[in-house]
Chains A and B, each alone.
Chain A
Amino acid sequence: MNKPLYLSTLSLLGMLLFSTTLSAASLQAELVDSEGQPLANAVLTLRSEVAPVVAPATAVMDQISQQFAPNVLAVRSGTAVSFPNSDNIRHHVYSFSLAKRFELRLYQGTPSEPVVFDKPGVVVLGCNIHDWMVGYVYVTDDPWFAVSDAQGKLNLEQLPAGTYTASLWHPQAPDMLPQDAGQVQLTEAGSQQRFTLSMQAPGGQTAPSAPVSAFGDAFKKARDAAQ
């Protein structure tokens, strides 16, 4: 799994909501799997009682060296994502996900129109001519979110202190569904928290390199019996 060290853009645009204390809180989170291994490309989203007003934003899902970059992109609903092609070959990006079906026919450079992800959900990206290329756009309604780095760490800053409801997501999460991570109390002093994601059991998903039949055994048995 490609995990370029790439800090996801913090779209923390909601600023300083309340007047009583204008002080801001921050969260340093560490995301691990059930075995305690750091998880890269995991998404943490936070929401509180009071939702800030957020302006529409844009994001970029690049294609570099025939891979989507970043591998996981988290965006707020309504974000327009552009799909520049940094390779010198063409790509044919598509998605059949329910959250967003689209298709960018063979192209080079940046298509003129970015794709607007208007419904929350997971959008799996593929390239029609490069089967190995898989990318994910996690579309959420939550105001605060971040994607973990290769060490499974992420930072959320400039948040109003208070209580938040946290959600977690990862491409290998069971059925690719977000997981509830409970309440998080943020103070001005800054919080540190460790989140654990349960992951889908590995295996079974890797495509076999060659077709396998079960006939060999039957014949072998028959031959052995005949000896």
Chain B
Amino acid sequence: MLRNSFQARIAGVLVLLLLVVVGALYVAVQTATNAAVRSQAREQLDVGSLVFQQLLEVRGRQLHDAVQVLAADFGFKDAVASGDTETIRSALINHGARINASAVMMLGLDGNLEVSSDRQISGETAKRLSAQVMQRQREGVQIFLMPIADKIYLLVQATVTAPLPIARVMMGFQVDDAFAAELRELTHLDLTLRATQDGVADIWISTLQPAQSKQLQGSMSELANDAISLIGEESYLNQTLVLASGDGFEVRALLHKSLSQAQEAFAPLDQKILLIALAALSASLVGALLLARSVSQPVRQLAAVAERVRQGDYQASLDLQRGDELGRLATAFKAMQQGIAERERQLAHNALHDALTGLPNRTLALERLGSAITAGRPTSLLYLGVANFRAVNESLGAEGGDLALQQLSRRLQVVLRPGDSVARIIGDEFLLLLENTNSDSAVGIADKVQQLLLKPLRVATHDFALDCRIGIASYPVDGNAPEELLRRASIAMQDAAGMPSHLQVYQQGRDDAQQRQIRLIRDLRHAPDKAELLLHYQPKLDIAAGQVRQAEALLRWQHPTLGMVSPGEFIPLAERTGSIQLLTAWVIEEVLRQLREWAGRGLRVQVSLNISTDDLIDPQLPARVSKLLAEYQVPAEQLIFEITESGVMLNPEVALQVLHGLRACGISLSVDDFGTGYSSLAQLKRMPVQELKIDQSFIRDLDDASEDSVIVRSTIEMSHSLGLKVVAEGVEFERSLQLLGRWQCDTAQGYLISRPLAAQAFETWMAQYVHAPSTLVH
């Protein structure tokens, strides 16, 4: 299609240009022709009118001479002098006949018509004739035209002398079609003569076709000199001549030059131009197509090669031996082809190799492993990490680190057997692929590697001993997918950190735990939004009063596929991955919402909830909680925030500020898990806490004589002396509760009282408990 459209465009443009040129030429020729025809016609009209004039004058002169001779004839004079009208008339007719005069008249010297050969001449005409004769006499004109009756006459007068003038004789020669035809013969012009008498154009003589003449009679007055007018089918250039005019009459001549006829002479020229134009058009069309073809074929060839390059074939041959621009383009194309091939090779290498060490990268290593697996070759992976690489980097700088890694890579290559390969996975982690090697042999090789790496590296002026850990995973024992094997080798490497030999073969199941962790970490972020979280409430017993007025809100996670996940598993993960604040925020709001709901049903409980370390260093927390309290219209006294000693210790200043802020809101604070940390009592004193929770590890097996009883008892006493209330967690046995009661512990919490309950269940439990509160305490 490209070829077609390109050809068509070139041909189109060329043909169009040619058409414009030919058109302009044609118009120019036409204009020049028309101008020539017109000026020629004009000239012919001028010449024609001169000829016409000459013709009239010559004719007039001849006639005048003849008339003069006639008038001088003695016999004629004699007859005229006789005074007898009939005699005179007969003489007039007789003598007129001699020179073919159509009408002969005799006028007195005063101009009055006395005798006429035509008896029927009207008085009006006679009068007009007389006036005209006298007029002409005064002008010295003896030849003139005048219409008489229904004819136009060329009138010639002569004086009859005897020897003095005694009369005028006037001879009229009819101007008729023969005369017009003669003029036409001479000049090739058409002639129309029109005579008007008393305003009526009643005499027409014309050489035009009768139809044309008829049309002309209708539109005579519209004809202008030197203007082209259409008479019948033909166009004419006209010249009007007023040959005679007088009182009540006019003789007008019209010379017509047919332009149509003149233009016919140029018709062959037009035909030739058309022929030349057609020939030029077809020649240029062929030329354009050939030209376009000579361009489009190489272009098509180039396009085909480009297409093959697109498909990745850089070997396509391009045979275009041309010296022109297309030839240069082809050369450039070849160079480009080679350039692309070279760069692609480079890119492919870069994609599969590490830039720093030149070793295969992770992708290539996996590919090779994949090949080995496909081929069923037992293969072992040695995953090597440099534990102290950070230290190397810090002391040598990034460049030094790079040099160290390059040296390391060279050393690793030394141990390779044929078929083995080493790859750099990332940073300080390398992978050795040992083909046809089982796990046991791999351990041997790993050991050899470690021996090799014990020798310190020398970078610049420093010697370094690298601390390498190696994890081993083998195909097919530890997996049969490249990614899986690599991951497991990596896990083994991490595990190797804890081994004295810094060498670890992958342990079955290690991978699963890690996978679960990763999944939990990932899903935990979305748990609040997906409504997978819920709160359970564990009642807290006021030992002295034997009443339950408090509960601890405990977070539960109902994972859609893993089921209920224990807080012990996901809370540390949340803390480690920074999503704990998200959870705390959700817990605070959910507790408030629940309290508001219960308040609506008349249930008033003080609920404690756990605040993480991260929350404690968030200065915005008090403000946020305060805003939520106002929003849910829950009194701050119904909230207890449980904090850990270690949380406060992390950043005591901010933490204390936050705690004071919370306290200012009216929220009670409780120190959770007291006894497990290393906090001093002095610090405890500085904190605005109202309660202390003794960790369940002290309470669970509480009896009279144990060490725990001393700690618990003294803690209670100490707390009371500091003005703090004490909560005992993990109360499972009646005996424990009794002991706590005896030691005046304030509150007890544990399975003995109730396990944590869902909100609905807790509400029900509370309702029952109100009815039988004393079953627990005695």
Contacts and interface: CB of A to CB of B under 8 A. Distances in A.
B676 interface: no
A222 interface: yes
Interface string B39-54: 0001001100110110
Contact of B163 (A131, A215, A218): A131
Contacts of B142: 208, 211-213
Contacts of B49: 219, 222-223
A222 B57 contact: no
Nearest to B67: A211
Nearest to B80: A96
Interface in A198-227: 204-205, 207-208, 210-216, 218-219, 221-223, 225-226
Interface in B32-73: 42, 45-46, 49-50, 52-53, 56-57, 60-61, 64-65, 68, 72
Interface stretch (A7-15, A56-64, A120-128, A155-163): A120-128
Contacts of B137: 204
B225 interface: yes
B42 A212 contact: no
B494 to A, nearest CB: 118
A223 B244 CA distance: 16
Contacts of A96: 77-78, 81, 162, 166
Contact of A208 (B42, B140, B243): B140
B143 A212 contact: yes
A205 B159 CA distance: 10
Interface residues of B, number: 45
A128 B45 CA distance: 47
A127 B159 CA distance: 16
Contacts of B140: 208, 212
Contact of B60 (A131, A132, A207, A211): A211
Contacts of B99: none
Interface size classification for chain A: 20 to 34
B46 A223 contact: yes
Contacts of B466: none
A128 B49 CA distance: 41
Most buried by A among B57, B139, B166: B57
Interface stretch (B197-205, B212-220, B234-242, B407-415): B234-242
Contact of B225 (A94, A132, A218, A222): A222
Interface string B155-190: 010010111111000000000000000000000000
Contacts of A132: 163
Given A131-B72, A213-B142, A221-B242, 14 more contacts: A96-B78, A132-B163, A204-B138, A208-B140, A211-B61, A213-B141, A218-B53, A218-B242, A218-B243, A219-B50, A219-B53, A222-B239, A223-B50, A226-B46
17 contacts: A96-B78, A96-B81, A131-B72, A134-B164, A204-B137, A204-B138, A205-B164, A207-B159, A208-B142, A211-B60, A211-B142, A214-B136, A214-B143, A215-B143, A219-B52, A222-B225, A222-B239
Interface of B: 42, 45-46, 49-50, 52-53, 56-57, 60-61, 64-65, 68, 72, 74, 77-78, 81, 136-145, 156, 159, 161-166, 225-226, 239-244
